[in-house]
């Protein structure tokens, strides 16, 4: 049953309800409704005819609250509760076609119909809500249970967790559902510059609560008024903490007055408040899981016209680390994106937009995809440097390292059931090592994107601070954030800068303290559930050996220079948006002249996915689409065509490219991925200097003279020794290799 029916029946979630079939329904002749007292002035009022239409076949009795949907089109409607004050006939009736609906001009005193948050407005948080209800609602509704057991009901509950997870929302819902007098306090508003005024305000709040019991006092941002007394210099904060301690100890209403505190900095609160007898219960309101995100999405899109291609289950899968507030912002942003699509076709000069126009407006999958690019998880904004969009197809060669990385990082997250079935414990850490420019960072981005995990990229030196203890705290915060937004991958680039061998850094043991913190976080008392640590370095010999043992960086994967075949793949990847003279892709781009975005979407729908196709085969599909005289530039058309082919995993058979890059590959021994990327860029620059619209073999030959290989024989031999030394993990007794 919905929340209005439940509240009219005066029952709560979990109560047993007996339903009896009514043999004969009585149609209402007249229904008089009164608006709530808290309805603001100039609020858009629904017409009686609209209300009549919305309440058709709705059963009502005198004193019931009925839901009236009011709001601007395409903005989530506001559900307002109106009170039934008069009926003809006076008994319970059904609103029919003949019923006359009258709206009273006088609101009901004391009746609030706006922002009545109920349990149905909370997505997920089932266990947390149950614990809060048994702590607060049960003593208020049935104090005799606690008297019988001879125990005192809890006096306070502390809700803690990341911002935006629903701490304030859950407190308001419990207050509303329990029928208690609700007194909200924003922490900082208690503080006053006058001596004794802050304590007086707190006393007045508790006195009001006692006079209007049962009551709930809700203190938001509790840490702002109750910091640890030994860490503050101001006398006001100490007195406020002492006053709150005294008031909570003086609560004698046996569960009829409860204090709820909310904070996202629980460690900053004075410990005296956290003992039993004050805040008896501490409930963590964490980042929602996948099923919880589905519930939250359903709540925030229940008033939204969704197109059939929108899958809330898919959106939930793609929103790891999003809090309830993030998901609300995502839904709103998707609606705004849809609104932008329709605005050019709407005459905004009209006083009222016709219903026929409004009914065509829907939010589709593309709107949500665009919104996902705009809205990042709030818990990640402090540490998340970039959102990874790299796919395995963007990595050339490296087939063996890729499979090792997928087994260690991706599969434990995407094939969790199989790993649990075989009792496999996934590695805690993976270290990628090898020469510079071979694609270590690119591989980390690809595995983060393909596994659907949040990607926290940390450049080693950025955690270091000149202040004592700040570097260690920064390491703790990174791991704390990762646990909150799991599944997550923490990627430490240039790991050797952060964790050098102990005893070699002459900086007053600062680096040793950072390393010890690192070791503790990776293999400490707090488990890294669904969090994988990846590191990249080209000097594994100077990384502290304690970090490379099993239980920390379990897998050490060598990323070497690409072979001849791999170099061809890398060249194709880095030249996919570069016009190559005579290539099959350029012929296809020529054929898409006058295409619009809609034409490209039609083309994508006609192509078979996961195939290897020749240029002529793809040309036939393009010619089957009638162009709409679009004005997209040639580079824009090339980019859209490449995106379609990548999305559908279609490979173009191109003998021209195969021959060109086959020749270049034989001349690029010692070139790593970064060198080959630079080679393609320089070739395009030479073509630009020649004022040519495409790149040919001559341009690549000029580029070869300018871009030199990273690898040489001496470096190759050095890394070969490193590879042998670290093969199969860190050896227990081995001398570190010496570089020549």
What is the tens place of the pLDDT at every residue in 3-50? 677 777 777 666 778 888 877 778 888 888 887 765 655 555 666 777
Show me where the domains of the chain are located: 25-103, 119-284, 290-380, 392-558
Q: Is 557 helix (H, G, I), strand (E, B) or coil?
A: strand
Residue 736 has pLDDT above 70, yes or no: no
CA distances from 610 to 33, 218, 645, 649, 650 (A): 61, 57, 9, 5, 5
Average pLDDT score over residue span 42-69: 74
> What's the DSSP call for residue 274?
G
Q: Is 453 helix (H, G, I), strand (E, B) or coil?
A: coil
Please report, rounded to a whole number, the percentage of residues in the chain having pLDDT higher than 70: 88
Residue 239 has pLDDT above 70, yes or no: yes
Provide the residue count of the chain.
740
Q: Of 167, 137, 178, give the one whose Cα is nearest residue 154.
A: 137
Structure tokens at 277: 């007898």
Residue 147 has pLDDT above 70, yes or no: yes
Report pLDDT for 76: 46
Do residues 187 and 264 touch, judged by C-beta distance below 8 A? no
Report pLDDT for 79: 66
Residue 526 has pLDDT above 70, yes or no: no
Phi-psi region of 3 (alpha: psi -120 to 50; beta: other; left: phi over 0): alpha
CATH architecture type of domain 25-103: Roll (3.10)
* CATH fit for domain 290-380, picks 1.10.260.40, 1.10.8.60, 3.30.70.1520, 3.40.50.920: 1.10.8.60
> What's the DSSP call for residue 268?
G
Structure tokens at 485: 């937004």
Give the homologous superfamily in CATH for domain 392-558. Answer: P-loop containing nucleotide triphosphate hydrolases (3.40.50.300)
Confidence at 548, pLDDT banded by 50, 70, 90:
confident
Report pLDDT for 721: 85
Q: Which residues contact 525 (CB under 8 A, 6 or more apart)?
A: none
Distance separating alpha carbons of residues 714 and 694, to the nearest angstrom: 38
Give the homologous superfamily in CATH for domain 119-284. Answer: P-loop containing nucleotide triphosphate hydrolases (3.40.50.300)
Confidence at 678, pLDDT banded by 50, 70, 90:
very high
Residue 636 has pLDDT above 50, yes or no: yes
Average pLDDT score over residue span 523-533: 75
Distance separating alpha carbons of residues 349 and 634, to the nearest angstrom: 38
Report pLDDT for 87: 85
Do residues 158 and 268 touch, judged by C-beta distance below 8 A? no
Q: Is 440 helix (H, G, I), strand (E, B) or coil?
A: helix
505 or 476, which is more confident?
Answer: 476
Buried b (16+ CB within 10 A) or exposed e, 402-434: bebbbbbbbbbbeeeeebeeeeeebbbbbbbbb
Report pLDDT for 385: 42
Report pLDDT for 254: 58
Strand intervals (E) in 95-229: 100-103, 156-160, 181-186, 215-220
Residue 72 has pLDDT above 70, yes or no: no
Average pLDDT score over residue span 507-527: 74
Mean pLDDT of the chain: 81
Q: Rounded to the nearest 5°, which phi and psi values hold at 170?
A: -70, -35
CA distances from 297 to 46, 304, 326 (A): 27, 11, 10
Report pLDDT for 357: 76
Report pLDDT for 109: 62
Q: Is 669 helix (H, G, I), strand (E, B) or coil?
A: coil
pLDDT (tens digit, 9 = 90+) per residue, 295-344?
999 988 887 888 888 889 888 888 877 888 999 999 999 999 998 888 88
Average pLDDT score over residue span 50-77: 70
**Residue 333: CB atoms within 10 Å:** 18
Residue 609 has pLDDT above 90, yes or no: no
Report pLDDT for 663: 92
Q: Across the strands, what pairs with 103?
A: 33
Distance separating alpha carbons of residues 179 and 201, to the nearest angstrom: 24
599 or 236, which is more confident?
Answer: 599
- Could you write out the DSSP letters of every residue in 495-546? GGGTSBPTT---STTHHHHHHHHHHHHHSSSS--TTEEEEEEES-GGGB-GG
Q: Of 670, 648, 476, give the one whose Cα is nearest residue 562.
A: 670
Domains 25-103 and 392-558 share a fold: no
Q: Rounded to the nearest 5°, which phi and psi values hold at 221?
A: 50, 55
pLDDT (tens digit, 9 = 90+) per residue, 474-495?
888 888 888 877 778 888 888 8
Number of H helices, E strands in the chain: 27, 18
Report pLDDT for 379: 62
Distance separating alpha carbons of residues 640 and 643, to the nearest angstrom: 5
pLDDT (tens digit, 9 = 90+) per residue, 89-140?
888 788 888 888 888 777 766 555 445 677 777 888 888 888 888 888 888 8
Report pLDDT for 703: 92
Please report, rounded to a whole number, the percentage of residues in the chain having pLDDT higher than 90: 8
Residue 283 has pLDDT above 70, yes or no: yes
Do residues 475 and 508 touch, judged by C-beta distance below 8 A? no
Distance separating alpha carbons of residues 714 and 649, to the nearest angstrom: 40
pLDDT (tens digit, 9 = 90+) per residue, 552-586?
888 888 888 888 888 998 998 889 889 999 888 88
Do residues 212 and 232 touch, judged by C-beta distance below 8 A? no
Distance separating alpha carbons of residues 146 and 153, to the nearest angstrom: 7
Q: Are strands 93-94 and 531-537 parallel, antiparallel or unpaired?
A: unpaired
Distance separating alpha carbons of residues 334 and 368, to the nearest angstrom: 5
Q: Is 512 helix (H, G, I), strand (E, B) or coil?
A: helix
Query: Residue 535: how many CA atoms within 13 Å on its side-chain side?
Result: 27
Structure tokens at 379: 């818990």
Helix (H) / strand (E) element for 34: namely strand 30-34
Three-class SS of 385-434: CCCCCCCHHHCCCCHHHHHHHHHHHHHHHHCHHHHHHCCCCCCCEEEEEC
pLDDT (tens digit, 9 = 90+) per residue, 387-409?
567 888 888 888 888 898 888 88
Distance separating alpha carbons of residues 277 and 251, to the nearest angstrom: 10
């Amino acid at each position: 049953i919905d929340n209005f029916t439940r509240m009219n029946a005066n029952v709560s979630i979990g109560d047993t309800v007996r339903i009896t079939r009514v043999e004969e329904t009585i149609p209402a002749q007249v229904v008089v409704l009164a608006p709530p007292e808290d309805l603001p002035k100039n609020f858009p009022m629904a017409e009686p005819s609209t209300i009549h239409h919305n309440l058709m076949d709705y059963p009502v009795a005198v004193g019931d609250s009925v839901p009236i949907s009011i709001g601007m089109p395409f903005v989530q409607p506001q559900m307002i509760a109106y009170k039934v004050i008069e009926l003809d006939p006076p008994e319970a009736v059904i609103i029919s076609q003949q019923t006359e609906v009258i709206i009273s001009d006088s609101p009901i005193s004391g009746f609030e119909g706006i922002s009545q948050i109920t349990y149905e407005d909370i997505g997920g948080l089932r266990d947390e809500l149950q614990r809060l209800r048994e702590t607060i609602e049960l003593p208020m509704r049935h104090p005799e249970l606690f008297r019988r057991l001879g125990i005192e009901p809890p006096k306070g509950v502390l809700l803690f967790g990341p911002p935006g997870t629903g701490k304030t929302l859950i407190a308001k819902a419990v207050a509303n559902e329990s029928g208690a007098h609700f007194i909200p306090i924003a922490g900082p508003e208690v503080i006053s510059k006058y001596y004794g005024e802050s304590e007086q305000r707190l006393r007045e709040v508790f006195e009001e609560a006692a006079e209007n019991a049962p009551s709930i006092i809700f203190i938001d941002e509790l840490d702002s008024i109750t910091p640890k007394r030994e860490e503050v210099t101001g006398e006001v904060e100490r007195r406020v903490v002492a006053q709150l301690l005294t008031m909570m100890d003086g609560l004698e209403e046996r569960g009829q007055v409860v204090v709820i505190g909310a904070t996202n900095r629980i460690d900053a609160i004075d410990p005296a408040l956290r003992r039993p007898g004050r805040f008896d219960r501490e409930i963590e309101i964490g980042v929602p899981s996948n099923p919880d995100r589905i519930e939250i999405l359903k709540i925030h899109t229940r008033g939204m016209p969704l197109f059939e291609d929108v899958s809330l289950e898919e959106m939930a899968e793609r929103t790891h680390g999003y809090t309830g507030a993030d998901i609300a912002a995502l839904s709103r942003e998707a609606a705004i994106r849809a609104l932008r699509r329709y605005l050019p076709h709407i005459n905004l000069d009209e006083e009222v937009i016709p219903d026929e126009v409004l009914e065509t407006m829907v939010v589709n999958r593309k709107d949500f995809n665009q919104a996902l690019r705009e809205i990042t998880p709030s818990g990640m904004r402090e540490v998340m440097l970039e959102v990874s969009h790299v796919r395995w197809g963007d990595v050339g060669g490296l087939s063996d390292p890729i499979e090792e990385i997928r087994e260690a990082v991706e599969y434990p997250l995407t094939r969790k059931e199989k790993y649990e079935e075989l009792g496999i414990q996934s590695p805690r850490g993976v270290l990628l090592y090898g020469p510079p420019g071979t694609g270590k960072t690119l591989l980390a981005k690809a595995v983060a994107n393909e596994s659907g995990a949040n990607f926290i990229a940390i450049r080693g030196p950025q955690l270091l601070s000149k202040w004592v203890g700040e570097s260690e705290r920064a390491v703790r915060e990174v791991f704390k954030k990762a646990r909150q937004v799991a599944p997550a991958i923490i990627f430490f680039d240039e790991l050797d800068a952060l964790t050098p061998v102990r005893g070699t850094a002459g900086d007053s043991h600062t680096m040793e303290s950072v390393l010890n913190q690192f070791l503790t976080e990776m293999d400490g008392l707090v488990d890294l559930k669904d969090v994988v640590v990846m590191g990249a370095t080209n000097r594994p010999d100077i990384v502290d050996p304690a970090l490379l043992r099993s239980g920390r960086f379990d897998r050490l994967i060598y990323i070497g220079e690409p072979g001849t075949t791999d170099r061809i793949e890398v060249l194709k990847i880095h030249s996919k948006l570069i016009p190559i003279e005579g290539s099959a892709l350029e012929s296809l781009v020529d054929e898409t002249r006058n295409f619009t975005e809609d034409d490209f979407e039609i083309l994508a729908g006609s192509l078979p996915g996961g195939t290897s196709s020749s240029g002529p085969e793809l040309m036939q599909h393009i010619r089957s689409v009638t162009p709409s005289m679009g004005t997209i530039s040639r580079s824009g058309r090339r980019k859209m065509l490449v995106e379609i082919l990548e999305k559908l995993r279609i490979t173009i058979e191109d003998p021209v490219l195969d021959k060109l890059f086959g020749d270049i590959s034989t001349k690029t021994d010692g070139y790593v991925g970064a060198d080959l990327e630079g080679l393609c860029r320089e070739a395009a620059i030479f073509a630009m200097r020649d004022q040519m619209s495409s790149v040919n073999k001559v341009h690549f030959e000029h580029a070869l003279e300018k871009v030199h290989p990273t690898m040489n024989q001496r470096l190759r031999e050095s890394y070969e020794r490193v590879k042998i030394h670290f093969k199969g993990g860190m050896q227990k007794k081995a001398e570190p290799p010496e570089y020549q």
